[in-house]
Amino acid sequence: MKIDYEVVIIGSGVAGMTSAIYLKRSGVSCCLLEKEIPGGQITKSSSITNYPGILDISGPDFSNIIYKQVTDLGVTYKYADVLGIDIKDDLKIIKTDMGDIITKKIIIATGRIPKKLNIHGEEELIGKGISYCALCDGNFFKGEDIAVIGGGNSAIEEAIYLSKICKSVTIIHRKEEFRADKILLDKLKNISNIKYKMSYIPKSFNEKDNKLASITIIGKDNKEENLKVKGCFIYIGQVPNSKIFKGLIKYDREGYIKVNEHRKTNIDGIYAVGDVVKKDAYQLITAMNDGVIASVNCIEELKN
Ligand code: NAP
């Protein structure tokens, strides 16, 4: 069988692109496979302020710089949807909607996808008021009352971003306390158009004329309230994007791929990096760190 590349990286978020930079600089032939736009989750972040060395940069700007680094190095970039992986002796055959790709090694960098609430009206109203990306869709709600659901760093960061565009932002959170970082919570204190519905659980999204019109939420006393909003941004966490590897790669109950300290999976020659791997901190830096470790180990194995 003719080998197309020594290494194929599936997913071009920051972890995958970091792997590509290190592999290519070592002279390894590699290809980045992506089904959407380069950059992954970080392209949906309005502002990055905790990356040492950079004071403040938007997610799209940050990923564009890395993308330029990758393409300037001459890494092959292919748009394809990966359907599965077959193993033939020492080689791996990646099945995609654009045909098969044969490689010696694979780095899985498929990241995570937004978690859904799975309540009435959510699925039907996606793109009609419901969104999982403030940076992509925030401008559709200029001067409107909107809601953000969640209490983590993403929810708070994006609520702050949306407060500059929308008339009001109501944060709906299921607990009395947010889990977001203190520095973000301190910023909230100075924003007058952010309101709070603490200890409220969303029950349903209600439509009028095929658009989101209100959210039914339930308080501690089990009383229902109807919150009139034109938009709702859901930030309740993410789930690993690992389903396509089911049956081949070992992952935990939640779907996070199990790796050792070299970022190797249970299959020889297949690594996993970034948010698709179980870890203590889901940060840009930790994703990039994984990318470096996997590629350095890949390079060493290829030499041998
Ligand atoms: P997260 O930290 O997991 O927070 C998810 C939030 O959604 C929590 O407040 C959680 O409530 C709530 N939630 C979960 N399931 C829910 C449900 N079914 N109904 C209602 N609420 C629900 O997720 P994230 O904010 O997307 O962040 C993901 C990771 O990326 C984290 O490690 C985070 O620190 C990191 N991140 C970092 C930055 C930064 O450093 N600036 C920015 C963005 C993200 P409970 O609190 O009650 O569990």
Substitution site in 47, 49, 153, 218 for ligand 1 pocket (most atoms within 8 Å of beta carbon): 153
Residue 14 and residue 105 share a domain: yes
| pLDDT-based confidence at residue 304 (cuts at 50, 70, 90) | confident
Residue 221 and residue 125 share a domain: yes
Residue 52 and residue 130 share a domain: no
Last residue of one domain, picked from the residues 209, 234, 259: 234
| pLDDT-based confidence at residue 205 (cuts at 50, 70, 90) | very high
Closest ligand 1 atom to 117 CA: 18
Number of domains in the chain: 2
Residue 107 and residue 24 share a domain: yes
Last residue of one domain, picked from the residues 193, 217, 234: 234
Substitution site in 14, 116, 174 for ligand 1 pocket (most atoms within 8 Å of beta carbon): 174
Is pLDDT of 118 > 90? Answer: yes
Task: Please give the share of the chain, as a percent, with pLDDT higher than 70.
Answer: 100
pLDDT tens track for 4-35: 999 999 999 999 999 999 999 999 999 999 99
Q: What is the pTM of this model?
A: 0.88
Substitution site in 154, 179, 286 for ligand 1 pocket (most atoms within 8 Å of beta carbon): 154
pLDDT number for residue 243:
95
Last residue of one domain, picked from the residues 195, 219, 234: 234
Is pLDDT of 240 > 90? Answer: yes
Measure 302 CA to ligand 1 centroid, in angstroms.
39
pLDDT number for residue 44:
86
Q: For ligand 1, which residues put their CB under 6 angstroms from it?
A: 50, 117, 150-155, 157, 174-175, 179, 235-238, 282-283
pLDDT number for residue 2:
93
pLDDT averaged over the chain? 96
* Full residue range of the structural domain in which residue 228 is found: 116-234
Is pLDDT of 117 > 90? Answer: yes
Nearest CA to ligand 1 atom 33: 153
pLDDT number for residue 46:
86
Residue 120 and residue 229 share a domain: yes
| pLDDT-based confidence at residue 1 (cuts at 50, 70, 90) | confident
Residue 244 and residue 230 share a domain: no
Residue 170 and residue 84 share a domain: no
User: What CATH number does the domain containing 244 carry?
Assistant: 3.50.50.60
Is pLDDT of 263 > 90? Answer: yes
Residue 223 and residue 124 share a domain: yes
Q: What is the 3-state secondary structure (H, E, C) of the chain?
A: CCCCEEEEEECCEHHHHHHHHHHHHCCCCEEEEECCCCEHHHHHCCCECCCCCCCCECHHHHHHHHHHHHHHHCCEEEECCEEEEEEECCEEEEEECCEEEEEEEEEECCCEEECCCCCECCCCCECCCEECCHHHHHHHHCCCEEEEECCCHHHHHHHHHHHCCCCEEEEEECCCCCCCCHHHHHHHCCCCCEEEEECCEEEEEEEECCEEEEEEEECCCCCEEEEECCEEEECCCEEECCHHHCCCCCECCCCCECCCCCCECCCCCEEECHHHECCCCCCHHHHHHHHHHHHHHHHHHHHC
Residue 106 and residue 249 share a domain: yes
pLDDT number for residue 125:
97
Measure 77 CA to ligand 1 centroid, in angstroms.
31
